[in-house]
Structure 1
Amino acid sequence: MNSFLEPLFSNQEYDKQSFFLIAGPCVVESKELVHQVGEQVSAICKKHGIPYILKASYRKANRTSASSFTGLGDELGLQILHDAGKALGLPTTTDIHTEKEAELAAKYVDVLQIPAFLCRQTDLLVAAANTGKIVNVKKGQFVSGEAMKFAVEKIKNAGNDKVMLTERGTTFGYQDLVVDYRNIPLMQQAGTPVIMDCTHSLQQPNQTSGVTGGNPQLIGTIAKAAIAAGADGLFIETHPDPACAKSDGANMLRLELLEDLLIQLKKIRAAVTA
């Protein structure tokens, strides 16, 4: 595990050879939901020795329809995520979209996540770097794995070496994505941990309904292939009832399915690192 990640998991007992997990609901829907998901995922990860970061977006800025749920309010959403992490002893992460949001979110979370569609926004990357927090940049659906080295350079040139990259698929036509697993080792060449986003890579964007679709039945396939390809971490959005989720329910993993998947992934990890 990269040295800058180790302090995040200092109060967690985990298998040193394990991948790490970033997981939680897509958005902060309520205090109860964030705590419920964090508590259940934490218990599973503790049982199987997997280091865990709790994720939830306090604001959803990239919505297809103007009527889509975007959050409970910035400071309230951030406070709910912060409180859940503190109560459960977990590090936390959330998306940011502007330089101003970088400064605000850094007061509440441990890892700042740059959305894929903003991965080339220099001012945003530099603002995130300047907070001193770990910065996780999602690879744009329109960007090659090799080109993500420039995002890494922007952050490191701002004086922050704590950078991670996340693969989340590449645009294929108008309403589908494909995953090129060559991007995992290619992005690792930039000297950063590389994470596979197993849920957003299965999105089906640009639906005429105004609600993004997805293929959640393939989450296990994406995750298994990523671990076999050497991914350092996995990103999985999960919810106890995805059909009722207020954002991205079409591509989230049902919470009750998570443990069995992680057990399989641990076996694959053990095989490829033997």
Structure 2
Amino acid sequence: MLTDLFAGQQYDSTNFFLIAGPCVVESEELLMEVGDKVSTICRNLGIPYIFKASYRKANRTSASSFTGLGDETGLQLLQKTGAAFKVPVTTDIHGHDEAAVAAQFADILQIPAFLCRQTDLLIAAAETGKIVNVKKGQFVSGPSMKFAVEKIVRAGNENVILTERGNTFGYQDLVVDYRNIPWMKEHGVPVVMDCTHSLQQPNQTTGVTGGNPQLIGTIASAAIASGADGLFIETHPNPAVAKSDGANMLRLDLLEGLLQKLVKIRKAVV
């Protein structure tokens, strides 16, 4: 499944894989800057890499929030970035009618956490034949994600990834239950830890989601120690001016040091 996507990359097969990039397609310049930096770091550390950016942000707190540059533009820029750095790309979809379109540009289709039970969406993604990465809902347990996997497999697609991103804890916070990592691995699919969205503080009265990016390293380290196969990290050169999820993204210049540490942890636990 994933090894075919990584065929053109030089990497350590014992390493975790990384899904990383800015939250949303803001501009071609941003995608190229992040893609260049992260692909270089991953190549040097032997980490297989998947570039990530949302071509459209459908789930926003405020109606005035940035949603994207337009679907066609966003998808084309995403594909262009992957081609430039010879890495696979992923983006999220929010409706069943988006699946076939996005599949023309992306190697992996991501299902947002809030939509992990949306049967028509899961089936449409499965029918594209692409790898489907389903984020575990904030309201769902790891064991119950077997039903999402079953829907995709029954639609004829066995290429599934599950991503942990925390559980709702009160109205304005999330907490990570690391038992979900081994529980979801029991479903026979790769399991990823979303190290940035799991630190969100949603439902703020300002209309802008908060976050605790200073704890990204803590979340990532615990995930690797718990057996996660991959990590999901949103990163931006200047999160303070990012057009989406700036409050919980990792500053791009901090990524290399974090990944160096995580590679050491991985070597200690495999």
TM-score range, shorter chain: over 0.9
Partners of 1:241 and 1:14 in 2: how far apart? Answer: 28
Q: Which of the numbers 158, 164, 173 marks the counterpart of 1:167?
A: 164
Give the alignment of 1:98-247 within 5 angstroms.
98-247=95-244
State the SS of the aligned residue for 1:155.
helix
Residues 182-230 of structure 1: CA deviation (Å, up to 9, x unaligned)? 0000000000000000000000000000000000000000000000000
- Partners of 2:174 and 2:225 lie apart in 1 by 20
Tell me whether 1:73 sits opposite 2:81 in the alignment. no
Aligned to 1:42: 39
Specify the alignment match of 2:48 in structure 1.
Answer: 51
**Could you tell me which residue of structure 2 aligns to residue 269 of structure 1?**
266
Distance 1:179 1:173 in 2: 13
C-alpha separation in 2, matches of 1:268 and 1:83: 33
- Could you tell me how far 1:124 is from its partner in structure 2? 0.2
SS of 1:208's equivalent in the other structure is coil
Question: What stretches of structure 2 of length at least 5 have no aligned partner?
Answer: none
What TM-score, normalized to structure 1?
0.98
Indicate which of 7, 18, 23 corresponds to 1:21: 18
> What amino acid is aligned across from residue 48 of structure 1 in structure 2?
L
User: What percentage of aligned pairs have identical amino acids?
Assistant: 75
Secondary structure of the residue aligned to 1:221 is helix
Structure 1 unaligned blocks of 5 or more: none
- TM-fit CA distance, 1:88: 1.0
Q: What is the identity, as a one-letter code, of the residue corresponding to 2:190? A: P
Residue identity matched to 2:40 = A
Opposite residue 19 of structure 1, the aligned amino acid is F
Task: Write the distance in 2 (CA, Å) between the matches of 1:226 and 1:126.
Answer: 29
Tell me how large the CA RMSD over aligned residues is. Answer: 0.3
Measured in 1, the distance between the counterparts of 2:83 and 2:40 equals 15
In structure 2, C-alpha distance between the alignment counterparts of 1:146 and 1:49, rounded to whole Å: 32
Q: Which runs of 4+ in 1 moved over 3 A?
A: none
Deviation at 1:73, TM superposition (A): 0.2
C-alpha distance in 2, partners of 1:217/1:17?
Answer: 27
Partner SS, residue 17 of structure 1 = coil
> In the aligned structure 2, how far is the partner of 1:88 from the partner of 1:269?
25
Q: How many pairs align?
A: 270
Q: TM-score, normalised by structure 2?
A: 1.00
C-alpha deviation, 1:87, in angstroms: 1.2
CA displacement, residues 20-42 of structure 1 (integer Å, 9 cap, x when unaligned): 00000000000110111011000
Q: d(CA) in 1 for partners of 2:244 and 2:22? A: 9
Deviation at residue 168 of structure 1 after TM alignment: 0.1
